[in-house]
Amino acid sequence: MLATDHEGKQVAQWLNNLGIAAFMLEYRLGPKYRHPVQMLDAQRAMRYVRSHAIEYHLDPERIGIWGFSAGGHLAAQIATHFDAGNPAAQDTVERASSRPDFAILSYPVIEPLGGGAKWSFQNILGKDPSPKQIEELSPNLHVTRETPTTFIVHSDDDDGVWPMNSIRFYTALKAAGVPAELHIYRSGGHGYGLAPLDVVLSSYSLRVADWLRGLGLL
């Protein structure tokens, strides 16, 4: 499913209120569509926004990606699987880089750790994915020093996508020398979006804003 409201429109509006342009990607889902379809959709979206940056009055070197849960998995994949574009491509969109300049991951699936995370992997790989397929789709195993700076948030009581998902990605980022910020809240569960009804958890949006400000994006 696509959580287009609390993990899409509300987030885009929040970014707009900060003066940041936002685009919401509706990508093809498993199990109808298998990997790498989702990754190709997200890479294409990055290229599209970057190739139309002048038209949209954007800086092509200040384009990031934000994903939630399974969308966080996709965002982490894009942050670790990208290219500079094909300068010889007839399609001008394909000439643009698919690399995000920064990434924000909210309670992301990174590895099949937790029932929800395992289900997410099965949706795009099938019922019995091989160890090689799981390794290919575990972004923490593909972090390099070229991976963009990343902000990560998770909840300690997330039973569906265990917080170890975020911890492992953060650890991989630090091992590669990539600047990163990780927040793990005591409670919140899973799927809360910006958590507008939770007095404590909703403060993470302020941390995101501070982080963006520290990057010079606000």
DSSP of 60-73, one letter per residue?
A: TTS--EEEETHHHH
Enclosing H/E stretch for 152:
strand 149-155
- Per-residue pLDDT of 30-85, as tens digits, reads 999 999 999 999 999 999 999 999 999 999 999 999 999 999 999 999 999 999 99
Report pLDDT for 5: 86
The maximal CA–CA distance of the chain, rounded, in angstroms, is 51
Alpha carbons 133 and 125: distance in angstroms, whole number = 7
**Which CATH number fits the domain that encloses residue 59?**
3.40.50.1820
Nearest of 157, 146, 155, 213 to residue 184 by alpha carbon: 155
Report pLDDT for 1: 77
* Mean predicted lDDT score pLDDT of the chain: 97
Does residue 178 have a pLDDT over 90?
yes
Is 201 part of a structural domain of the chain?
A: no
Alpha carbons 70 and 107: distance in angstroms, whole number = 9
Report pLDDT for 2: 81
Does residue 4 have a pLDDT over 90?
no
Number of domains in the chain: 1
**φ and ψ at residue 17, rounded to 5 degrees:** -65, -20
Is 199 part of a structural domain of the chain?
A: no
Is 181 part of a structural domain of the chain?
A: yes
Report pLDDT for 3: 86
Tokens coding 160: 């569906």
Q: 109 lies in which domain range? A: 5-192
Is 136 part of a structural domain of the chain?
A: yes
Is 34 part of a structural domain of the chain?
A: yes
Is 202 part of a structural domain of the chain?
A: no
Is 39 part of a structural domain of the chain?
A: yes
Nearest of 209, 144, 215, 159 to residue 183 by alpha carbon: 209
Q: What is the mean pLDDT of residues 192-208?
A: 97
Is 98 part of a structural domain of the chain?
A: yes
